[in-house]
Chain A
């Protein structure tokens, strides 16, 4: 699981169970509106994401993250920084 696309597929798989019925999670999926979960629920989902990629996502980056792809971009930076 080293490439962006491989990690993105894992991320989409983690988010899929939380999506509203009929929504297929892709890179373009909007985290707030398309997943149909509130901000508190999203924070819970992010704990799972952090465990999967073994990184901690600072709260500070979240205001700039709207789509799954933007979240993946932040994860990529954190994974790279962790070495």
Chain B
């Protein structure tokens, strides 16, 4: 039993995958052209798996802000805020985010993953209990594990199952932390926010909502805003890496204790802080998100168009249109054939394997952007149609 024996099964899966000729984990973006186009394997590609929901990565205001900041403040902070000091721009972004969400305070983290890791691990310890939706992101699972709290899952998007779990907790329920997401990353489905908030009001507890995929997508601020549940939610986490086109993460809250978490969160204390250029582009993107609601309109037009087309082709998708549109494919051979067929036709989507997927299915996961033109969406639709036809005729032969 060597140090590397644990990788044997993974190595075997990778070898078997390589034998098929598909290389979904070896995609190199050789040149990025725009929020929706790139050169991949020497071929021009429409990028339909980027999470670049508002298409702001090349927005002139964001690029200019980043350029100015890197000229004025340098390329990096070279360390953590606790050790090396907080830049004025860190404070400014925290004020922007807190004000944007209408909350008392905010903490920013170097990535969205670290935001969940940093908040969950510092907020809870072995005396606490966390009740999480079963389909929560790995950063939530990892944050729970790092804190050492008792972790209980409830069935995905099932408020009755959450209620059952809280009932079983008895006197511990009012101190439990419930964790859900605004939009779930695999199928693009959203949490039943009002039902979950009602359960929380009945049993007590604290509620944390991760708006990573819903910020700027559902309303301006995410699911909590569109469900009108501001007062039911104690913590909102999220990322700057999707609709804001940068990198970094945050937590906002009205609870005064949030600032104490800053002092005890290892993923906050022991890592380099956000660099000035990323802070600057994030702040510019946040301003764009607020000033330009037409971006969200374009995003939803594109999402609805692609969702309707994939539905018409007979694919099983998430339960409702969303900028994350994932076709569930039960068979690996079909999934690989479709993914490579799309790539050959100049369309890049994500291929996701179990166990990261619901119901042990394979996912052809698209994410739509406001920056996609109608023509690009139609090319994606046509590529799906042609690839499906090709697969069906080759299967019949």
Q: Measuring CB to CB, which residues of chain A are less than 8 angstroms from any residue of chain B?
A: 38-41, 43, 47, 54-60, 82
Q: CB < 8 Å: which of A38, A47, A60, A82 contacts B168?
A: A82
Q: Is the CB of A40 within 8 A of B150?
A: no
- Grouping DSSP codes into helix (H, G, I), strand (E, B) and loop, the B interface class, with mixed when no group exceeds half, is mixed
Q: Is B153 an interface residue (CB 8 A)?
A: yes
For the complex, give the distance between the alpha carbons of A58 and B153 in Å. 8
Query: Considering the complex of A and B, which 6 residue pairs feature the smallest CB-CB distances, nearest first?
Result: A40-B355, A59-B151, A56-B152, A58-B150, A56-B165, A56-B168
Interface centre among A38, A40, A56, A60 (most CB of B within 10 A): A56
Inside 8 A of B168's CB, which chain A residues have their CB?
54-56, 82
Q: Is B360 an interface residue (CB 8 A)?
A: yes
Interface centre among B134, B144, B168, B354 (most CB of A within 10 A): B168
For the complex, give the distance between the alpha carbons of A59 and B133 in Å. 13
For the complex, give the distance between the alpha carbons of A63 and B165 in Å. 21
Q: Is the CB of A59 within 8 A of B354?
A: no
List 9 additional A-B contacts (Cβ < 8 Å) besides A58-B129, A58-B150.
A40-B355, A40-B360, A43-B134, A47-B153, A55-B168, A56-B152, A59-B152, A60-B150, A82-B168
For the complex, give the distance between the alpha carbons of A40 and B153 in Å. 13
How far, in Å, is B300 (CB) from chain A's closest CB? 31
Q: Is B344 an interface residue (CB 8 A)?
A: no
**Which B residues, 152 to 175, have Cβ-Cβ distances below 8 Å to chain A?**
152-153, 155, 165, 168-169
Inside 8 A of B151's CB, which chain A residues have their CB?
58-60
Q: Is the CB of A40 within 8 A of B165?
A: no
For the complex, give the distance between the alpha carbons of A39 and B355 in Å. 7
Q: Is the CB of B355 within 8 A of A58?
A: no
Inside 8 A of B169's CB, which chain A residues have their CB?
56
Given that A56-B165, A56-B168, A82-B168 are known contacts, is A40 also in contact with B155, CB under 8 Å in the complex? no
For the complex, give the distance between the alpha carbons of A54 and B170 in Å. 13
Given that A54-B168, A56-B165 are known contacts, is A40 also in contact with B354, CB under 8 Å in the complex? yes
On chain B, which size bracket covers the interface?
10 to 19
For the complex, give the distance between the alpha carbons of A55 and B150 in Å. 14
Q: Is the CB of A38 within 8 A of B155?
A: no
Q: Is the CB of A38 within 8 A of B165?
A: no
For the complex, give the distance between the alpha carbons of A54 and B161 in Å. 11
Q: CB < 8 Å: which of A38, A54, A56 contacts B355?
A: A38
Inside 8 A of A40's CB, which chain B residues have their CB?
354-355, 360
For the complex, give the distance between the alpha carbons of A43 and B151 in Å. 13
How far, in Å, is A48 (CB) from chain B's closest CB? 11
For the complex, give the distance between the alpha carbons of A82 and B153 in Å. 17
B 109-150 binary contact with A (CB < 8 Å = 1; else 0): 000000000000000000001000010000001001100101
For the complex, give the distance between the alpha carbons of A41 and B134 in Å. 12
How far, in Å, is A36 (CB) from chain B's closest CB? 12
In the complex formed, the residue of B with least CB distance to A42 is B355
Given that A38-B354, A38-B355 are known contacts, is A43 also in contact with B150, CB under 8 Å in the complex? no
How far, in Å, is A72 (CB) from chain B's closest CB? 18
For the complex, give the distance between the alpha carbons of A55 and B167 in Å. 10
In the complex formed, the residue of B with least CB distance to A39 is B355
Q: Is the CB of B153 within 8 A of A59?
A: yes
For the complex, give the distance between the alpha carbons of A55 and B134 in Å. 16
How far, in Å, is A52 (CB) from chain B's closest CB? 13
How far, in Å, is B31 (CB) from chain A's closest CB? 37
Given that A54-B168, A56-B168, A60-B150 are known contacts, is A41 also in contact with B155, CB under 8 Å in the complex? no
Inside 8 A of A56's CB, which chain B residues have their CB?
152, 165, 168-169
Inside 8 A of B153's CB, which chain A residues have their CB?
43, 47, 59
Q: Is the CB of B150 within 8 A of A38?
A: no
In the complex formed, the residue of B with least CB distance to A46 is B153
How far, in Å, is B143 (CB) from chain A's closest CB? 13
Inside 8 A of B144's CB, which chain A residues have their CB?
59
Inside 8 A of A57's CB, which chain B residues have their CB?
152
